[in-house]
Structures are given as structure tokens and as C-alpha cells.
Amino acid sequence: MKNSVSIKHVKAHSGIEGNELADRMAGQAIRDKVEGYAVYEYSDVNAVLSLSEG
């Protein structure tokens, strides 16, 4: 449905690439003190995954 939100718990640090990517990006946003909405553009998933876990 277009106007609905679904929330699903995903175990952290379990090797799921998308979850690991989101974790790294969130940590980077916290370290950079990003406020508000930010668009992350990247061409190499491995570069983002190589960021520290924070």
C-alpha cells in the first residue's frame, strides 16, 4: 500500500549487507553531526562498508 509504513526488526551486525550499510551510514551521519535530511550518494558499497562501525 502506497501510504503505509512497515517496520521489521533486523538483527544488528549479522552480516546482512543492507543492514550493515545502513549502520555505517547512520554512524557516519552522527560523527559528521548531520542535522535533518541527508542524501548519501556512493558508487561503491564496499567503500561505505569499510567505514568504522562507530
Kindly list the domain boundaries of the chain, sorted by start residue. Answer: 1-54
Task: Report how far apart, in Å, the C-alpha atoms of 23 and of each of 3, 16, 47, 49, 53 are.
Answer: 25, 11, 13, 9, 7
What's the confidence (pLDDT) of residue 52?
64
Note the pLDDT of residue 29: 80
User: Residue 17's pLDDT is what?
Assistant: 78
Tell me what pLDDT residue 38 has: 67
23-29 own/partner pairs: CB under 8 Å, 24+ apart: 23/53, 24/48, 24/49, 24/51, 24/52, 24/53, 24/54, 25/51, 27/51, 27/52, 27/53, 27/54, 28/54
Residue 38 cell numbers, joined: 541527508
* Tens-level pLDDT at each residue, the chain (54 residues): 578 888 888 777 778 877 888 888 888 888 888 788 767 677 787 877 777 665
